[in-house]
Structure formats: C-alpha cells, structure tokens
C-alpha cells in the first residue's frame, strides 16, 4: 500500500500496457497508463509551531520523548550500521491471533482491542483527500493538532475485508505487520511513520507528507535521466535499501511508483514507501509467497525457488535500466492484457538479462542509447540470475559508477578498508581457508571477478607509496587516517600477513576483501564451503584442507599447524567439519549455524557466557563498594 498517495493498490496496480512499445511512444505509453490510476500529490508546507507545554501534557510529552530516544538508538546516520543490532532479526513481529468466527455486525481491531481505539477527529484535522480512492480506502492530507505538523493519513475501510473470515485474517495480519515494520524503520531515505489508530469502521496510518511526486512521474517527465542525475537518485535509494537490508527486511515490491520525492525541488531527498509486502528475512530462511509487480519481480520469485533480500537488488537493476533507457528491459511486445501479458513478461524474466549491446528493445543494452561501461556493469550485476553473484546494496554503493558519477575517491574503495577493520575477528583456521579460497582460479569456483581484482590492485597501488608492491604498517596506518592505534594496526597486519614478512601483498589484500564479501550472503558461504569440499560428501576432512592449502601462493603450512587448526574448528571432534561448524568458525551475522546443531548450541553457550561476563564486570564494582 502506498504511503502517501492512493491506498489499497496491490501487485496489480499501475501496470504498463502490454502492447508493442515503439521508440517514439514509449514514455507516452507509460504516461497514459500512469494517468489512469495514480493520483497526484498536494504541496507540503512547513510544520506549524509546537504547542505550549503545560503540566497536563507533561507526562505525554515525556513518553513521546522516551519513544524518540528509543528510535534514535536504531537510526542510521550516514550508513553507519551497527553489526550487533538487527531490528527485524532480533525482535520478531507480533502477529495477531486467528479470527475463529467473524460476525459482520462486529468490527475487528488491528491494533489490539477496542479499548485502544480513538477517534481521529480528536487529534487530526482532515484537510483534503489525496487523489482517488483505492482498493481499501483513501489517503488524506491532514494536520496533527498537537504540533501543527502536516502529514498524510491513509484511511482504510475495514468493511472491505470483513465479510470473509479467511480474508479478514489475511489482511488483519498484513496491516498489523506493515504497521510494526514502519514503526521500527528510521532512516532519512525511508518514509517516516508517525502513528496508527483506528475506530470501528476504519484503520488510520499517519506518516510524513511527500509532495515531490513519484520517481515514475519524473521518468515520464524527463523520458530518461542523465547518468549523473540517475546516480544522485539511485545513491539515495541504495542507502535506504542498505539500511533495511542490514536490519533483515526485504521490501519485495520496489518500483518507481514506490519512491516519492519529499518536495518538488531538484535536489529533493527521495523516500522508499509502501512496506505492505515487506518481509523480515532471517538466516537460512527463504520466502516462497509470490509478491511484487511483473516488470520488476526477480526470477527466483517467479520460479518459486525461494527468495530473500537479493530480490530487491534485481528490482533496482530494472529501475536503473528504466531510468537510463526510458523503457523496461522485460515487457510484452504483443497486444495482451492482464494475465496473458504478465505471463509473457514472466517467461522473459525467467530467461534472464543478457548484458550485451544489441539492436532493438529487449533484455539487453540498446545500441541507440549510449551509457558508460560502468553503468552497464552495475546493471548487469544487479540483474544477475545467480543470487550468490548478485551484488548487495553495500557493494552497489561502492561500485565505480557511483564513485565516478558522484566524483568520489576512486582509488580507495571503502569496502577494502572496512574489510581490514573487520578482519580483526578472523581465527587461525578461517585465515587458512581464506588463503585457499582467494587462490581459486577456475571460472566456476573463482570468488573474485576481474573488476574486483582490478579494484584491489588499484587500492594496493594507492596505499603503496614507496612502490615496492607491498603495504607496510606505516602506509596502512596513514590510509586508515589514524582511526586505529598503531598496536591495533600491527595486530591486523600480523593476521593478514600469511607470509610473515610484516607487510601486505595483493594476495593477502584479496584474502581480506574476500572475507567480507563471502560473509555478506549465505549463498556465498555455501559456495565457499562446496569449493573446499573436494570429495563432495558435504563435510570437510583434513585431506580436503591440506589439498586446498597447497594452492596458496607464497606460503606453506606445516602438517602440525594444519592439524592443530583443524582440531580447534572440529567442534564435536568427529574428524570432519560440517556446514554448521564451517558457519560457526566463519562468524557471519548473516548466516549463523542452523538451530539444533552442535555449532549453534556452542554459539548460544558462548553468547550466554559473554553476557554473564559483561554483567559480572558491571556488578563487581558495586559489590566491592557495598562491602
């Protein structure tokens, strides 16, 4: 459901017409279809003055202050994401109970029960309806009385889904989940949620009012964007997407209709809206329920193989293509309406995107529109069929297309420096395996592509001031800009330095970068595990590890070193390392050991021990003082 426009349109709303799209009429076809269903927005005004405080409102204000303080704890400022806090992984959504029997004469309460309901006229002044009514209700421009803030309020009619108990339960769950999701999100490029309330007839959802129109509208207005314009907009969207993905949430319906500009200024921030289909994604979990809009839906959703956060990245690739070329890569060329046209689009999506320059219109780059090689590369990585190779939001933000379009520093990739800092957590056995994985050269097994290898060489060249082909401790400390003390940098260098020469080579830098890349996705962790599993029996033996380490360039481990490290990684002492033990030693927050495994029990035990140690360290001074 849209956050600030019409309400209730699901996956079938605002579709392009599935007829042939000649070049000169492509943007017009988009505009004609868009005008049939999408309402315009109303300009926003600055918030009014805050009401005067008094004793009667003091408790309310204090409660609101506490709520804002709590939200600030999860707020992302400048994409500084806390790896230890994942708001959708740490705290599950509370789903409403089943509805045993529904009496049409009675209402249902999305937010709990009747005692929590309140009349909207007490807190909001409804000014003007925004656009046309949707499937379940309508959106209004309102003023919140207590502080004069203008906002958009979605007014959802409960009667539309109360006649059938199963239908009522479905939508009750969906609305409740959407509200809980929006209450937790707090990012400058995601729509800001104020509150939800209800009465016996309607559910109301109040959020910030965006008046700059949809990205869809600007695409139609401009027909296509320059690369610089597109980069500015997409960079904001990828920041918002990185935030929700970091916290374990997949949007599942990204499209130009679901991006709103805050105002009509050329430099307006853009907001991700409509979290009605969003789904929390937990480690080892893949959703199968179909969702999304035909032109933008990922192939794994259509194939029902199971999908996770990666489905959003595919959608972003389609959106980027549309912005730069003015038409979607997957569309129906015949005059088919409804499901027939959708089936044709789905079949094309299942065949994938061909990252070559060709004549004509289709899932490839057209010859008549010139874009940079960096833009084509980013789109190809976003519309990659293999989800283990499809890039993440974090990786997209560091892609050369953004660094060049936005005049960022192209010599020092932020991922490399972040990888060096994260590498402090690596253990001895993981350190060995990274060396083996970084040395893979087979095209099917290789985990670093040509662009990444070139990027790493550029980083090494930039760090290597004396041009000896290595990075010294002093050179690394200068690059980190004194964000770490020398002792910490020495420790990182010793961990990374597998050759023992007290400096970092290109092979060692690749190993560090690879650690962060593999940890970002469970699909990549599985790919790494199967590459090391030479015998193919789904577990790593000491012989597998010895064979893999033979390929490590410029270093050799003794039998005693390998066996000692292997014994530490073999948690249950049965002579092999299974997938869960592999996940345990890797330590990725995105894919911990699976529940009920020995590795998971050990991880839980270790976490409990750490919490007890922290608690003990906090209480000891108090006890000493009391004594």
Token readout for 65 is: 């202050």
Helices (H) and strands (E) in the chain, counts: 23, 11
Residue with tokens 């705290």: 91
Dihedral class, residue 536 (left if φ above 0, else alpha if ψ from -120 to 50, else beta): left
- Separation of alpha carbons 139 and 260, rounded Å: 15
Helices of type H across 468-578? 473-479, 486-496, 506-519, 522-532, 542-549, 559-569
Which residue's entry shows tokens 């289909």? 277
Which SS3 state, helix, strand or coil, does residue 124 take? strand
Work out the number of other CB atoms within 10 angstroms of the CB of residue 250. Answer: 24
Q: In what order do the strands lie in the sheet with 150-157?
A: 124-130, 137-144, 150-157, 202-208, 193-198
Residue 229 near residue 218 (C-beta atoms within 8 A)? no
> Taking a C-beta distance cutoff of 8 angstroms, is the pair 599, 605 a contact?
no
Distance CA 323, CA 378 (A): 13
Query: 417 by DSSP, 3-state: which?
Result: helix
State the CB neighbour count (10 A cutoff) for residue 354. 14
Report the C-alpha gap between 584 and 569 in whole angstroms: 9
> Residues 6 or more apart from 121 whose CB is under 8 A from it?
none
Q: Which residues are catalytic?
A: 253
First to last CA, the chain: 60
Query: Two tokens at 585?
Result: 């030693």
Distance CA 380, CA 390 (A): 9
Distance separating alpha carbons of residues 414 and 412, to the nearest angstrom: 6
Tokens 């492509």 identify what position? 26
């Amino acid at each position: 459901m849209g956050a600030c426009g019409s309400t209730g349109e699901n996956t079938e709303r605002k579709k392009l017409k599935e007829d042939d799209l000649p070049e000169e009429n492509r943007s017009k076809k988009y505009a004609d279809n868009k005008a049939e269903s999408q309402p315009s927005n109303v300009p926003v005004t600055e918030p009014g003055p805050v009401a005067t405080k008094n004793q009667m409102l003091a408790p309310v204000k204090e409660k609101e202050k506490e709520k804002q303080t709590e939200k600030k704890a999860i707020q992302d400022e400048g994409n500084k994401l806390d790896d230890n806090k994942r708001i959708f992984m740490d705290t599950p959504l509370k789903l409403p109970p089943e509805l045993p029997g529904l009496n049409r004469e009675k209402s249902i309460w999305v937010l709990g029960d009747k005692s929590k309901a309140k009349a909207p006229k007490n807190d909001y002044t409804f000014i003007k309806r925004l656009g046309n009514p949707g499937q379940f209700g309508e959106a209004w421009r309102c003023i919140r009385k207590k502080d004069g803030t203008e906002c958009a309020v979605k007014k959802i009619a409960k009667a539309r889904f109360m006649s059938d108990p199963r239908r009522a339960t479905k939508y009750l769950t969906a609305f409740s989940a959407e509200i809980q999701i929006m209450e937790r999100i707090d990012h400058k490029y995601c729509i800001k949620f104020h509150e939800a309330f209800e009465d016996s007839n309607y559910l109301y959802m109040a959020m910030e009012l965006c008046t700059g129109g949809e990205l869809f509208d600007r695409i139609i207005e401009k027909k296509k964007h320059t690369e610089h314009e597109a980069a500015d907009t997409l960079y904001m969207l990828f920041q918002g997407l990185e935030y929700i993905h970091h916290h374990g949430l997949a949007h599942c319906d990204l499209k130009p209709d679901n991006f709103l500009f805050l105002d009509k200024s050329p430099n307006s921030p853009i907001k991700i809206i409509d979290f009605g289909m969003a789904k929390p994604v937990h480690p080892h979990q893949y959703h199968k329920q179909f969702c999304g809009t035909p032109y933008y839906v990922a192939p794994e959703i259509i194939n029902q193989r199971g999908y996770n956060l990666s489905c959003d990245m595919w959608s972003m690739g389609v959106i980027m293509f549309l912005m730069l070329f003015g038409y979607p890569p997957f569309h129906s060329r015949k005059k088919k309406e409804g499901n027939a046209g959708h089936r044709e689009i789905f079949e094309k999506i299942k065949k994938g995107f061909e990252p070559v320059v060709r004549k004509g219109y289709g899932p490839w780059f057209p010859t008549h529109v010139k874009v940079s090689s960096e833009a084509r590369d980013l789109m190809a990585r976003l519309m990659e069929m293999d989800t283990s190779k499809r890039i993440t939001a974090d990786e997209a933000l560091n892609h050369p297309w953004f660094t060049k379009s936005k005049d960022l520093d192209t010599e020092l990739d932020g991922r490399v420096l972040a990888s060096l800092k994260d590498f402090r957590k690596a253990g001895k056995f993981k350190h060995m395996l990274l060396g083996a994985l970084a040395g893979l050269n087979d095209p099917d097994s290789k985990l670093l592509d040509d662009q990444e290898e070139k990027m790493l060489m550029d980083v090494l060249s930039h760090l290597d001031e004396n041009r000896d082909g290595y990075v010294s401790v002093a050179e690394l400390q200068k690059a980190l800009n004194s964000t770490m003390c020398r002792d910490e940098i020495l420790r990182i260098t010793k961990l990374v330095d597998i050759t023992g020469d007290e400096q970092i080579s290109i092979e060692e830098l690749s190993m560090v970068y690879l650690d962060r890349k593999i940890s970002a996705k469970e699909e990549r962790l599985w790919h790494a595990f199967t590459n090391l599993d030479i015998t193919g029996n789904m577990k790593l033996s000491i012989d597998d590890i010895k064979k893999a380490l033979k390929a490590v360039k410029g270093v050799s481990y003794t039998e005693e070193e390998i066996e000692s490290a292997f014994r530490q990684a073999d948690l249950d002492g049965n002579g092999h390392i299974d997938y869960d033990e592999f996940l345990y030693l890797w330590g990725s927050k995105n894919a911990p050991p699976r529940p009920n495994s020995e590795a998971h029990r050990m991880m839980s035990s270790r976490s409990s021990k750490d919490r007890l140690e922290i608690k003990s360290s906090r209480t000891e001074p108090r006890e000493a003082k009391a004594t």
